[in-house]
C-alpha cells in the first residue's frame, strides 16, 4: 500500500521550503527592461514623466544580443552565487515573458523571443536556483492606477496580475522564488494577496515567496540596508552595485570587491542572504566593473567560503577597526579587512583559545592574557588584499565582552562575567 504522507503544518512546510535558501547566502539580482535602453534608472518613465505613448515604442527598439542570460548565469556561478532573481516585469509594465494577457511583451515585440525562458534555461545549465521578480505596480496597464478608485478597474487589473503570475508559475517548470515588488496602490485585500500566495503554492509547492504583496510571506526583504529580521525569520538584503537597479552608465560609483565581501560577512553574521544586483545594458552586456568585481569575490569565496556560507551568529555589537567576525560552533572567523601588520590584538574574547591559523593556510602564534588576545608573527602585508580570514579555535563557544570602560576581567578570565544581581527597583511613592 502506498504510504500516505500527512500534510505538514504550515510553519513546518515553510521551514521545509526555506531550507535551501537558508544555506544559499549569495544571489544575483538582474534588472533588465525597456528602461535599460534609456540608461537613466529603472524609474525613468515615472521620474521624467514620460507619457505611455512615448515610452511604448521602446518595446520595438529593444533588440538584445544572443542569449545574454547565459553569460549572467556563468558569471553568477563564478562569483559563488547560488541563485538568481530576474525582473520578469518591472513597474514600466513590459513583460520579458510571453503572455497571453498583453502583447506588451518580449515575444511579440522587439526581441521576438521569450527572455524569461532563456533566463530559466541559463540558470538550470549552471545549477542555480531560479527566482522571478514581478512588480505588482504597473505604469502601463490602463487600470494600474485607477484600480484604487474604481471596482471594475480593480477587478480587471487584479485578474490580469493573478493571471500573469499563473503564467509565470505554469510555463517555465520549477521556480524557486517568487519576488513581488511594490504593491502600490492597493491593500493586500485589494490585491487578493492571500489567494495570490495560495495559487503560487498550488502551482509550485516548493516555492518561497517574499513579503512585498503586503503579506509576510516566507522572508523579509530589506532594500539597500543589511538588517536582520526577528530571530527565526528568514531575510534577504537586496543591494545595488552602483546606486541604480537598471542600467545607468552615468551612475559610476560601484561597490568594490572588498565592500561586497564585507556585505557577505554581515549577512552571514545575521543569518540572511545577499541579493546583489546588476543592470545589464540593452544588449545584455554586464557593465564594467561588475564582472571583474564578481570574479574577485568568487575567488575570495573559493578560499574563505565556509566563513560565510556555513557560519552565522556572531556575538553582538562589538567593533574593532581591524575587522569583524562570523562564528560556527567553537570556531571564530575574524575577517580582517584592515591588516595591522605583524601583530593583531583582539580584546574582550571571553573564552580560552586553542588554535589560530590563517584560514586555509599556516598556523599563527598567539598569546592570551585574560581578555587580551595577541596574534604575532603575521605577514607584514595582508595575505589577501580584499580581506584575510583568521580562523580561531576555542574551548567552547567564544563570546566577546568589550565595554566602554577599561575594566579588565581579572578573576576567572574564561568564565562568563559575573553579573551583579539586578538592583531591586523600589517604586517611587
Ligand atoms: O526594483 C528596484 C526598485 O526600482 C524598486 N525595488 C527595487 C528592488 C523600488 N521601487 N520603489 N522603491 C523601490 C521604493 C518604494 C517606493 C514606494 Fe511608493 C513607496 C512604493 C510604494 C510606496 C512611490 C510612492 C510609489 C508609490 C508611492
DSSP codes of every residue in 202-226: HH-TT-EEBSTTSS--SEE--BSS-
CA distance 147 to 191: 10
Q: Is residue 224 in contact with ligand 1, taking CB distance under 6 Å?
A: no
Q: Is residue 238 in contact with ligand 1, taking CB distance under 6 Å?
A: yes
Location of C-alpha cell 574574547:
349
Residue nearest to atom 12 of ligand 1 (CA): 182
Q: Is residue 391 in contact with ligand 1, taking CB distance under 6 Å?
A: no
pLDDT of residue 424: 47
Q: How far is the CA of 91 from the centre of ligand 1 (A)?
A: 9
Architecture of domain 323-395: Sandwich (2.60)
How does pLDDT run across 176-215, given as a tens digit for each residue?
Answer: 999 999 999 999 999 999 999 999 999 999 999 999 999 9
Q: How far is the CA of 181 from the centre of ligand 1 (A)?
A: 8
What average pLDDT score do residues 381-391 get? 98
pLDDT of residue 426: 46
Q: How far is the CA of 47 from the centre of ligand 1 (A)?
A: 12
Beta strands in 136-231 (DSSP E): 177-181, 208-209, 219-220
pLDDT of residue 404: 74
Q: Is residue 407 in contact with ligand 1, taking CB distance under 6 Å?
A: no
CA distance 159 to 280: 31
Q: Is residue 236 in contact with ligand 1, taking CB distance under 6 Å?
A: no
Residue 168 has pLDDT above 50, yes or no: yes
How does pLDDT run across 300-339, given as a tens digit for each residue?
Answer: 999 999 999 999 987 776 889 999 999 999 999 999 999 9
Which CATH number, 3.40.50.261, 3.20.20.80, 2.130.10.10, 1.10.1060.10, labels domain 10-309? 3.20.20.80
Q: Is residue 182 in contact with ligand 1, taking CB distance under 6 Å?
A: yes
pLDDT of residue 318: 80
Residue 1 has pLDDT above 90, yes or no: no
What average pLDDT score do residues 73-84 get? 98
Q: How far is the CA of 353 from the centre of ligand 1 (A)?
A: 48
Answer whether 10-309 and 323-395 agree in fold.
no
Domain ranges of the chain: 10-309, 323-395
Q: Supply the mean pLDDT for the chain.
A: 94
Q: Which atom of ligand 1 is nearest to the CA of 245?
A: 2
Residue 105 has pLDDT above 90, yes or no: yes
Helix (H, G, I), strand (E, B) or coil at 235: strand
Q: How far is the CA of 167 from the centre of ligand 1 (A)?
A: 24
Q: Is residue 42 in contact with ligand 1, taking CB distance under 6 Å?
A: yes
pLDDT of residue 401: 87
Amino acid at each position: 500500500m502506498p504510504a500516505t504522507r500527512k500534510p505538514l503544518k504550515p510553519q513546518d512546510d515553510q521551514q521545509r521550503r526555506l531550507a535551501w535558501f537558508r544555506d544559499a547566502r549569495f544571489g544575483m539580482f538582474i534588472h533588465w527592461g525597456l528602461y535599460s535602453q534609456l540608461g537613466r534608472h529603472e524609474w525613468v518613465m515615472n521620474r521624467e514623466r514620460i507619457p505611455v505613448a512615448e515610452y511604448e515604442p521602446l518595446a520595438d527598439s529593444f533588440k538584445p544580443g544572443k542569449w545574454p542570460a547565459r553569460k549572467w548565469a556563468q558569471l553568477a556561478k563564478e562569483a559563488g552565487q547560488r541563485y538568481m532573481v530576474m525582473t520578469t516585469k518591472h513597474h514600466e509594465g513590459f513583460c520579458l515573458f510571453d503572455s497571453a494577457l498583453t502583447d506588451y511583451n518580449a515575444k511579440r515585440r522587439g526581441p521576438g523571443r521569450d527572455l524569461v525562458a532563456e533566463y530559466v534555461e541559463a540558470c538550470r545549465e549552471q545549477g542555480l536556483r531560479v527566482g522571478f521578480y514581478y512588480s505588482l505596480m504597473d505604469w502601463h496597464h490602463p487600470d494600474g492606477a485607477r484600480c484604487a478608485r474604481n471596482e471594475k478597474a480593480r477587478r480587471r487589473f487584479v485578474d490580469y496580475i493573478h493571471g500573469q503570475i499563473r503564467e509565470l508559475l505554469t510555463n517555465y517548470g520549477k521556480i524557486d522564488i517568487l519576488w513581488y515588488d511594490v504593491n502600490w496602490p492597493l491593500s493586500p485585500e485589494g490585491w487578493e494577496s492571500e489567494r495570490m500566495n495560495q495559487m503560487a503554492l498550488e502551482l509550485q509547492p516548493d516555492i518561497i515567496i517574499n513579503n512585498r504583496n503586503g503579506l509576510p510571506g516566507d522572508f523579509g526583504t530589506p532594500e539597500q540596508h543589511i538588517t536582520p529580521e526577528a530571530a527565526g525569520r528568514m531575510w534577504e538584503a537586496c543591494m545595488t552595485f552602483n546606486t541604480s537597479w537598471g542600467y545607468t552608465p552615468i551612475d559610476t560609483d560601484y561597490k568594490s570587491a572588498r565592500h561586497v565581501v564585507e556585505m557577505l560577512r554581515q549577512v552571514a553574521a545575521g543569518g540572511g542572504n545577499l541579493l546583489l544586483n546588476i543592470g545589464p545594458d540593452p544588449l545584455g552586456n554586464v557593465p564594467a566593473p561588475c564582472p571583474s568585481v564578481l570574479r574577485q569575490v568568487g575567488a575570495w569565496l573559493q578560499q574563505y567560503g565556509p566563513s560565510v556560507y556555513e557560519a552565522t551568529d556572531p556575538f553582538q555589537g562589538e567593533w574593532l577597526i581591524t575587522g569583524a567576525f562570523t562564528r560556527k560552533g567553537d570556531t571564530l572567523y575574524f575577517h580582517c579587512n584592515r591588516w595591522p601588520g605583524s601583530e593583531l590584538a583582539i580584546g574582550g574574547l571571553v573564552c580560552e583559545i586553542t588554535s589560530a591559523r590563517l584560514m586555509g593556510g599556516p598556523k599563527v602564534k598567539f598569546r592570551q592574557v585574560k581578555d587580551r588576545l595577541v596574534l604575532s608573527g603575521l605577514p607584514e602585508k595582508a595575505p589577501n588584499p580584499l580581506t584575510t580570514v583568521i580562523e580561531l579555535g576555542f574551548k567552547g563557544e567564544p563570546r566577546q565582552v568589550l565595554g566602554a570602560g577599561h575594566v579588565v576581567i581579572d578573576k576567572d578570565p574564561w568564565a562568563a562575567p559575573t553579573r551583579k544581581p539586578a538592583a531591586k527597583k523600589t517604586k517611587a511613592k
